[in-house]
Amino acid sequence: MPALPSSTLTDGVVRRDDTLADGRRLYYYDDRGSTLPPERAADARTLDPRPDTATMRRDPLTDEWISIAAARQNRVFLPPADLDPLAPASATNPSEVPDRYDVAVFENRSPSFGPATADDVHDEDPATGVVGHSRTSVGRCEVVCFSPEHEGSLGSQSPARLRTVVEAWADRTAALSEIPGVEQVFPFENRGEAIGVTLHHPHGQIYGYPYVTPRTRRLVEQVERHGSGLFDEILAFESTSERLVVRGEHWSAFVPFAARWPLELHVMPHRHVADLAETDSAERAELADLLPRLLQGIDAVYGDPTPYIAAWHQAPVRDHRDIRLTLQITSPRRAPARLKYLAGSESAMGAFIGDVLPEAQAAAWKEAVR
């Protein structure tokens, strides 16, 4: 086994670059002081060719793009532990990761965006058609394995391992931002079958979108109306409120004043950074310590595992860099045995109705974190 090309990143995390049997890229991120060797086994599988890049269709009523990625219908659904496709490969389980790892990132086998980039296609300008316009879904979708263990989540990892995960997020944000046609990069974790998780293995994903997402477009409009100081004002307002859950040296966590979800927490850096790639070593280290407290706290609210989405809202790649990086943790769980479903008002009209008072949420979060 040859040693893989490597790069030493912040705080001693090492990235090792590899390629899977069908040409997809794989990146191993070794913990600081990892005992893993620099050599890794090659992917010995014989794989089908990668699916064609999906197509996006433009909704003329909302000016939003919908990616039609039919190949995703074939993805693995809740496999048994001995066939975990994200575990290190073995003689009986030829998984997506050929060898042992601490953290691993690889291109999704059934992506919603990519593998084609803007340099590979020559789509018609979307401004030329109002109805019936389509484009190639260029971009990138990657899977982030937080651990080689079959079960767990982001919050069950140690601060040392989370430090490696944060480094991987920052490194991949920078790399995907350089892909031709990528306009916004989105790291996230879905946790729990109620959210739609199809693999129990602790993992998340990173999307490189070929457009600025609808939520961020609305945020851009707000910043343009209000001014670039919007995030400082929000942080100052929440820092003196009863909704503040944790305040550290570099980050604050709070339930937002107008929380949509029964459980919702925003984690915001005190210094303006547009994305994870702009964070420094001290900010990344504190974040790695803070995340387990918050994510284990969401389980402590009701005393057992709670489904959630942990979503990193980052600024667009090229413009509007005055948007501040924010982690949004949301859960539809509104009581021990009840979920909030997005029914008529939320799904059809986008008009949310809160089920839990934000101040009551914050009290529960604070008690759980303690």
What is the Rg, in whole angstroms, of the alpha carbon atoms belonging to the chain?
21
Amino acid at 2: P
25-48 burial: b if 16+ Cβ within 10 Å, else e: ebbbbbbbebeeeeebeebeeeee
Residue 168 CB partners (closer than 8 Å, separation 6+):
13, 15, 27, 29, 103, 105, 144
Rounded to whole angstroms, how far apart are CA atoms 149 and 84?
Answer: 10
203 is a catalytic site residue: yes
Indicate the length of the chain as a whole number. 370
Residue 326 CB partners (closer than 8 Å, separation 6+):
231, 266, 267, 268, 312, 313
Whether the ω angle into residue 316 lies within 30 degrees of 0, i.e. cis, is no
Furthest-apart CA atoms within the chain: distance in Å: 59
Annotated catalytic residue, options 203, 250, 266, 320: 203
Amino acid at 186: F
Catalytic residue numbers? 203
